[in-house]
Structures are given as C-alpha cells and as structure tokens.
Amino acid sequence: MLKIVYMGTPNFAVPALEMLIAHAAPGALLPDGYEIVTVITRPDKPAGRGRGVVFSPVKQAALAHNIPVWQPGSFKKAENSDALAAYHADLYVVAAFGQILPQKVLDQPRYGTINIHASLLPRYRGADPIAEAILQGDKEAGVSIMLLDAGVDTGPVLSRKTLPLKGDETTGTLTTSLSTLGAEALQEVLPQWISGVITPEPQNNELATHTRMLNKEDGEIQWTTPAAVLARKVRAYQPWPGLYSYWKGKMLKIQGARSLSMDLKDAVQPGTVSIRDESGHKVLAVATGAGLLLVKQLQLEGKKSLSTDEFLRGYAQINGDVLGK
C-alpha cells in the first residue's frame, strides 16, 4: 500500500484532500489503495479582532477525518526535511501549500512530488494565477497537475484541465470552481502516474508568464486607468485586496461595476462622479482614463455594503465630486 503525504493550506487545497480521503481504499483509485500518513499545513496563526488561533481549512478537513496533522514550518531546516523523510512516503501531493520546497525534499518520494497549480501552465506561474486570469480578460482558466522541481512552477506537466469563463467570475468564485476542477484532475491523473502511463511534458519556458502576490496597495484605484481594466480589477480583487478609492477622506470600496466605452466629449477629470439611470436603477458613473466605470455596489468605510440606489439615499452629495486622496 502506497504512503502519501499531503501538503496544503487554504480552501483551494481542501477538495483534492477530500477526494484522496474518499478513494483511499484498495480498488477505489489505485489497485492496492494508499494511506495518507500525514497532512502538512502552515503553522497556526492568530486572526480576527480577538486574535484567536485559527486552523487552516486543510487542517480542519484533516482533523475531521482523524488524519494526523503536522505543522513543522520551513523545510529548509534540516531537522524538518529529515523528519519528513522518516515517513518513507511514496508520493507527496501539494496544493497551495505556501512555501517553496527544496530539492532535497522533492527527491524523497519515489513517485516524486505532484502539485495542483491553478493555471494552464506555462501561463501564470507564481502566487496569484487566478486573479491574473481575470485581470487579463481570459476566456478560459484551468488547472495543471505538474511535478515540482526547484523552480517556481517550472516543472513538467502531467495534465491540464480547462474551464470556460463567463466574464462575471471573481477570484473568490473562480477559486472555488478551480479547486473542484483540481480535485477532478488529480483523480484522473494519479492512477495513470502511478502505473507509469503518463510521460511528463516539459514546459515551454518561452511561453511562460509570471504573477506575483498581491498586496493591499494594489487595490487603490488610479482613475487614469481605462474603465475596462478597472471593471476586471473589481472582480479580480475580490475578496482580496478589494478595489477602493477615497471620498471625503474615507475609503470607498467598489464591489460591483462594469465599464462603458464612450468618448467623454468634455474634458472631465478622472475620478469625477456623475449619476446615471440604468433600467430604473441609479449607478455612479465615474470618469476614467478611457470610458466610464458604472458602479452598482459599494461600501463606505465604517458602513455596510449597499447598492448604488441605497447609497445615494444618504450620500447624494457625491454627485460631481472627484474620488481619490
């Protein structure tokens, strides 16, 4: 019976773990079955206003199934990599684990280290591939099952699975969809990989594109940006870091919007707000570097999220103001 070590942290990594747990018995996925000897996740950390310790979604899922959880921290420390080797696992499966594994670790299992990456590699290597697919206006997204090497998402690919995009996805909703797709892809690939019928496909580095981890400052709107780009950012930056500007010194989060391509006949300062009627509802029309951003849902600092209709009942004076610091 094979021994598998699973490594992951956020919600994205839960469906694949649940799939492995459900199919561990002999004949369900592999002829002789397998055992998940431990689940490795990032160390617990305090979160929220109370700063209470919160378990990662992967830890919660593992504990719910009585699977041992190990939280060693960095595998660059020799004592951690040596302790991992002591499991004598045949395969490591990784999904959004949150650290780059050294070659010493990747070489330990005889079937290597399989990773679920949320893009169609070599496109969008790196930390935020899902947000990047939305930002770029892609017509499809997907997952790649790959073998990890010492680079960042540079290893050979075992399988890709695509998902058409409708154009209304947020990073939050697309993450959920791709996590399910990743579990399906792993279920298909694992028996083929263990039986030796898959030949890993080297990535074409000339086609590679890269992403970086988003930070809070990325969400601040530069109103000289074209409206079409800002509309994609509204979706790409949900739930993190959110897209926001400032009005009268308070943060104003833009949570629902679309772009309107039009030439502004008069010279209008980017960030200038006007009010338009659309199908019986009011929207804020904010001038941008190209076209208008039509805002349908927003949240003023310290207040709850509101539709523009609701917002304007209390803040109609926003009409004509210029957003920004």
* CB 136 within 8 Å of CB 171: no
Handedness of CA 124, 219, 263, 274 (dihedral sign): positive
What pLDDT, on the 0 to 100 scale, is given for residue 279?
86
Q: What is the pLDDT of residues 178-194, one digit of tens each?
A: 999 999 999 999 999 99
**Which pair of tokens denotes residue 233?**
């950012």
Three-class secondary structure assignment of 83-138: HHHCCCCCEEEEECCCCCCCHHHHCCCCCCEEEEECCCCCCCEECCHHHHHHHCCC
* CB 186 within 8 Å of CB 146: no
- Distance between CA 72 and CA 80 in Å, rounded? 6
Buried b (16+ CB within 10 A) or exposed e, 53-81: eeebbbbebbeeeebebbeeeebeeeebb
Q: What is the pLDDT of residues 222-256, one digit of tens each?
A: 999 999 999 999 999 999 999 999 999 999 999 99
Q: What is the pLDDT of residues 43-87, one digit of tens each?
A: 998 776 666 788 999 999 999 999 999 999 999 999 999 999 999
Q: Do domains 2-211 and 216-318 have the same CATH topology?
A: no
The owner of tokens 């349908």 is 296
In the 8-state DSSP scheme, what is residue 291?
S
**Which pair of tokens denotes residue 132?**
């990047």
In the 8-state DSSP scheme, what is residue 42?
P
Architecture (CATH level 2) of domain 2-211: 3-Layer(aba) Sandwich (3.40)
- Distance between CA 178 and CA 118 in Å, rounded? 7
Domain ranges of the chain: 2-211, 216-318
Mean per-residue pLDDT of the chain: 96
What pLDDT, on the 0 to 100 scale, is given for residue 49?
66
- Distance between CA 190 and CA 272 in Å, rounded? 54
Of 248, 318, 245, the residue nearest 288 (C-alpha): 245
Tens place of pLDDT per residue across the chain (325 aa): 999 999 999 999 999 999 999 999 999 999 999 999 999 999 998 776 666 788 999 999 999 999 999 999 999 999 999 999 999 999 999 999 989 999 999 999 999 999 999 999 999 999 999 999 999 999 999 999 999 998 999 999 999 999 999 999 999 999 999 999 999 999 999 999 999 999 999 999 999 999 999 999 999 999 999 999 999 999 999 999 999 999 999 999 999 999 999 877 677 999 999 999 988 899 999 999 999 999 999 999 999 999 999 999 999 999 999 999 8
What pLDDT, on the 0 to 100 scale, is given for residue 222?
98
Which class in CATH covers the domain with range 216-318? Answer: alpha beta
**Which pair of tokens denotes residue 17?**
């773990």
- Coil vs helix vs strand at 288: coil
